[in-house]
Chain A
């Protein structure tokens, strides 16, 4: 049913339909509305779940680690500093192979403190072993939560999944959302049946000390599972389409890309703006396009290669930095083409929209303009040079 919903409300509703048994979270802007919504749903008796109030994100992550380890479907959500405070536990959740599902309202990190949207928090956690999806709009955010539970809880995968949605833009934005019914969700998402769990009648140990004789194999297996997830995601997406009638690629999405001469690669809500600019420029006869990365982890290397190998000029938009090195997404997109027979002539890298600075249609047009010139390396768009000084005085 179509409903006019705030992003956070829509996510709270879809999590309710997934029927988690334990929810634990600590409020942080801009994630707050999601867990407020869920707390209300649980308090109203509409969801038979335990909502565990905790004193920190570290405890929230530890709580859902424990509940999934006991075989109960669980959910948490956080943002920015909260995500970093969880970080230690997040690596453990992945290492213990526990399918926790988390929404991350992507936000800038301190210092200076900034509550607005960029991707520095989530991108910094890319090596945690979590599967990481990036949503473009609220509908996709809602659907990715269903896909996340199906994928993470698959017995061959058993990995946590982070659904990254842009803070404020999607958490507080309002959109017409097609909300599925409980019957549809039940058809797509069976109850969680843990292949292993903490059980007093059959005791086991999770996350024990592993010495050099065994550690490498645990990491190798994690890495291989990400590869296996790459193959499973399209199959789950196909089943999703059969039940809900909405089609996604799940890994990447090409927009006006077939005959394009200039393509922007991006993640998250900015893709909506780029699509509008692409439509405008296409009307003027400019051959431009967009490649949206939905799955940052696992990183769909072969799919990206196929999509971009014949594109002459590619621009990669990063809303995060790897300070002192290449921008994170740009570095990975370039690595896709290393040693390959076909590759774009130019792969330019642009930094844009940090700490909630608007990425306007003008910003996107500027990137397309700059793409006609020489290759750019980590070029900042919409930078205000007048604010920069050489000394502290």
Chain B
């Protein structure tokens, strides 16, 4: 007998884990961004996308609110805000 063991890969995209977020979320101010790409690189969920200045943003379906992007941003152009705040 076999249980639910063998899975098709790539299923993590189907499981939207955004609701696990800590209560804080990043807010991309899009004012002083220099497109250094650091936020995209440090994101452990690889849920930040963007190309060019002031285009970067995160995917709330997967972001856990760790704050790495805000901490690494050299222009302080990302803020961590409470869930629900604009």
Counting chain A CB atoms within 10 Å of each CB, which of B3, B4, B7, B8 scores highest? B3
Chain A positions 195 through 229: 1 when the CB is less than 8 Å from some CB of chain B, otherwise 0: 01000000111111010001001111110110010
Interface size class of B (residues with CB under 8 A): 10 to 19
A-B contacts, 9 of them at CB < 8 A, read A203-B8, A204-B9, A205-B6, A206-B6, A214-B3, A218-B4, A220-B1, A224-B1, A228-B1
Instruction: List the A residue with the shortest CB-CB distance to B2.
Output: A221
Main secondary structure of the interface of B (DSSP, over half): loop
Shortest Cβ distance from residue A65 to the other chain B in the assembled complex, whole angstroms: 14
Shortest Cβ distance from residue A316 to the other chain B in the assembled complex, whole angstroms: 31
Q: Is the CB of B9 within 8 A of A219?
A: no
User: A205 contacts which chain B residues (CB < 8 A)?
Assistant: 6-9, 11
Report which of A96, A203, A224, A228 forms a contact with B5, defined as CB distance below 8 A. A96
Q: How far is the CA of A222 from the CA of B5 in the complex (A)?
A: 11
Chain B positions 32 through 66: 1 when the CB is less than 8 Å from some CB of chain A, otherwise 0: 00000000000000000000000000000000000
Q: How far is the CA of A96 from the CA of B7 in the complex (A)?
A: 11
Q: Is the CB of B6 within 8 A of A204?
A: yes
Q: How far is the CA of A205 from the CA of B9 in the complex (A)?
A: 6
Q: Is the CB of A204 within 8 A of B3?
A: no
Give B contacts to A, CB under 8 Å.
1-9, 11
Report which of A196, A207, A208, A221 forms a contact with B3, defined as CB distance below 8 A. A221
User: B5 contacts which chain A residues (CB < 8 A)?
Assistant: 95-97, 206-207, 218, 221
Q: Is the CB of B9 within 8 A of A218?
A: no
Q: Is the CB of B3 within 8 A of A219?
A: yes
Q: How far is the CA of A220 from the CA of B4 in the complex (A)?
A: 11
Give A contacts to B, CB under 8 Å.
95-97, 158, 196, 203-208, 210, 214, 217-222, 224-225, 228
Counting chain B CB atoms within 10 Å of each CB, which of A205, A207, A210 scores highest? A205
Counting chain A CB atoms within 10 Å of each CB, which of B2, B4, B11 scores highest? B2
Given contacts A204-B6, A218-B4, 13 further A-B pairs with CB under 8 A are A96-B5, A97-B2, A196-B6, A203-B9, A205-B6, A206-B5, A210-B4, A217-B4, A219-B3, A221-B5, A222-B3, A225-B1, A225-B2
Instruction: List the B residue with the shortest CB-CB distance to A218.
Output: B3
Shortest Cβ distance from residue B13 to the other chain A in the assembled complex, whole angstroms: 13
Q: How far is the CA of A228 from the CA of B7 in the complex (A)?
A: 24
Counting chain A CB atoms within 10 Å of each CB, which of B1, B4, B6, B7 scores highest? B1
Q: Is the CB of B7 within 8 A of A204?
A: yes
Interchain residue pairs A-B with the least CB separation, the first 9: A221-B3, A218-B3, A224-B1, A217-B3, A221-B1, A205-B7, A214-B4, A203-B9, A205-B9
Q: How far is the CA of A224 from the CA of B2 in the complex (A)?
A: 9
User: B8 contacts which chain A residues (CB < 8 A)?
Assistant: 203-205
Shortest Cβ distance from residue A157 to the other chain B in the assembled complex, whole angstroms: 10
Shortest Cβ distance from residue B10 to the other chain A in the assembled complex, whole angstroms: 8
Instruction: List the B residue with the shortest CB-CB distance to A225.
Output: B1
Instruction: List the B residue with the shortest CB-CB distance to A221.
Output: B3
Q: How far is the CA of A26 from the CA of B12 in the complex (A)?
A: 36
